Structure formats: C-alpha cells, structure tokens
C-alpha cells in the first residue's frame, strides 16, 4: 500500500519547518515506511465526512465530490506530522497506578499521562477538522466479537 504523499513531498514539507533536523536524520527507506504507517493511522483512526470517491480505493481520500482536490493539503500535512512519530501504531506503555505490599500501599497519579496521550495528536486533529465527520466527535466505536 502506498502513502498519501512521496518522500520528496514530505522532505519539502519538513524542510520549511522546525521538524527539518528530526526528519533529516531518517534514511529514505525509514521515511517511506513512516509515511505509509502515518497514512494507515490516519485512515484507521479518523472518521471523515462523506464517502470515498471510489468504493474500491484503498485509502480514505480522495472523497466523492472532491475528486479534483485529489489529496487535500490538510491530509498531506497531517501525514507529515504523524510520520515524525516513532512506533506510531504501537500502544502506549502500560503504567502502574498503585502498589500494595502487606498493609502499605502507594497510589500514583497518572492523570498527566492520560492527558498527554489524549492530546498527543491535537495539532493533527486541528489540521483535519474541516474533513472530519463531526458526528463522530467523542464517540467510541464498539465491536462485539
């Protein structure tokens, strides 16, 4: 599967931003893998308004009615930002919240960790806001097995 943009396009994006040095440390192969992972992450974790232009297309974009845009700039920027994240599709490390030994117990306040993870991609969400299905805000998708 391909990414929403090429390594060359991502290089151009990062060369104009503070992320230039971090992006430049990656080799071409790693950049390409990260762009595919970021594109995958975007397609799986965000619900977009409207429908795919072609129901058989692998990616969420282009969207029906906006085919002339091909891939919107906001999507390209979001993928570039997500591609900076190492192990993007990995779950966050599990943190201990309490320890009990005999009658002694200690509870840890992990609210900051929770807040950090929930706000991890606020900038990306802001980039995507015009394309997001607003009916999905705050909704958790449940699937029964």
Q: What is the pLDDT of residues 30-57, one digit of tens each?
A: 999 999 999 999 999 999 999 999 999 9
Percent pLDDT > 90 in the chain is 63
Nearest-5° Cα angle at 97, 91 to 101: 135
- Whether the model clears a pTM of 0.85, i.e. scores above it, the answer is no
Distant-in-sequence contacts of 31-34, Cβ < 8 A, 24+ apart: 31/7, 31/83, 32/3, 32/7, 34/83, 34/84, 34/85, 34/88
Peptide bond into 39 cis (omega under 30): no
54-89 tens-digit pLDDT? 999 999 999 999 988 899 999 999 999 999 998 887
Mean pLDDT over each residue of the chain, to the nearest integer: 84
Instruction: Give the pLDDT score at 139.
Output: 54
Instruction: Give the pLDDT score at 106.
Output: 72
Cα of 108 vs its chain's centroid, Å = 29
Count other Cβ atoms within 10 Å, centred on residue 41: 19
Better-predicted residue by pLDDT, 92 or 23: 23
Residue 130 confidence class, pLDDT cut points 50, 70, 90: very high
Q: Which residues pair with 63 in a beta bridge?
A: 52
């Amino acid at each position: 599967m391909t990414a929403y943009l090429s390594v060359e396009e991502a290089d151009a994006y990062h060369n104009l931003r503070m992320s230039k040095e971090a992006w430049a440390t990656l080799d071409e192969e790693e950049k390409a893998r990260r762009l595919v992972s970021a594109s995958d992450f975007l397609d799986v974790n965000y619900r977009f308004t409207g429908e795919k232009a072609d129901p058989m297309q692998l990616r969420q974009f282009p969207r029906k009615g906006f085919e002339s845009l091909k891939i919107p700039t906001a999507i390209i920027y979001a993928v570039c930002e997500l591609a900076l994240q190492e192990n993007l599709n990995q779950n966050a490390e599990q943190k201990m919240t309490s320890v009990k030994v005999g009658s002694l117990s200690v509870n840890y306040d992990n609210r900051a960790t929770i807040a950090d993870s929930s706000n991890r991609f606020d900038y990306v969400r802001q980039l995507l806001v015009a394309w997001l299905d607003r009916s999905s805000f705050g909704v958790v998708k449940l699937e029964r097995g």
